[in-house]
Amino acid sequence: MSEKKTIQASETDKMDILGNQKCPMCGKNTMTLMESEKDIPYFGKVFLFSMSCSNADCKYHKADIECADHKDPCKYSFDVKSEEDLKVRVVKSAEATVKIPRIMTIESGPAANGYVTNVEGILNRVKVMLEKARDDSEEKTDRKKAKNMLKKVQDTLWGRGEIKIIIEDKAGNSAIISDKAVKSKL
């Protein structure tokens, strides 16, 4: 039996949770649907959606973010040059593409998730992907290339390197919230 709960997380943020739903992947009633509203300073109100299956054999998860107000397609560029830059807030929808030149591009698509994080969170996600590429590669040159990219990301996380992050979103539901971020039309 499904049960809907509403949790008031703060004065402006609330979350609706609907449990025991049928999972589209495994077909069992182990899916939890969540929707929350969040007011992000200097960006506006957003809706966060997620679905997670608790079945140990499935563990399907999908999340996205959508602005309450219509926004135009956008591109944000941000140069990470200091430890302070790692704290900059990032809103990334499932439709957004994240580019780190000469390191990695994280494409949008059906398996992509949306989330609210910071620059450090983006770099940690990239770090995990590079570690997997390094560990799974059968070619020595590919492992070495992944290892070198991983070093650049890690140096930036330690405040000893610089990286550019670019987010492109056709739906306009993404942003890098900083005065140092350069916003342009997509």
Reported pTM: 0.82
Going across the sheet that includes 89-92, the strands are 115-118, 89-92, 175-177
Provide the token pair at 60.
Answer: 């399907």
| Predicted local confidence at residue 57, as pLDDT | 95
Total domains present in the chain: 2
Last residue of a domain, one of 67, 93, 118: 67
| Predicted local confidence at residue 103, as pLDDT | 95
SS3 150: helix
How does pLDDT run across 103-155, given as a tens digit for each residue? 999 998 878 899 999 999 999 999 999 999 999 999 999 999 999 999 999 99
Q: What is the residue whose two structure tokens read 């004065």? A: 11
Amino acid (1-letter code) at residue 90: V
Contact 162, 156 (CB under 8 A): yes
How does pLDDT run across 154-181, given as a tens digit for each residue? 999 999 999 999 999 999 999 999 999 9
Dihedral angle over CA of 116, 122, 124, 128, nearest 10: 100
Look up the domain containing 9 and give its range: 4-67
Last residue of a domain, one of 67, 93, 119: 67
Looking up residue 131, the CATH number of its domain turns out to be 2.60.120.1040
**Are residues 170 and 79 part of one domain?**
yes
The span from the CA of 180 to the CA of 186, in Å, is 18
**Are residues 119 and 84 part of one domain?**
yes
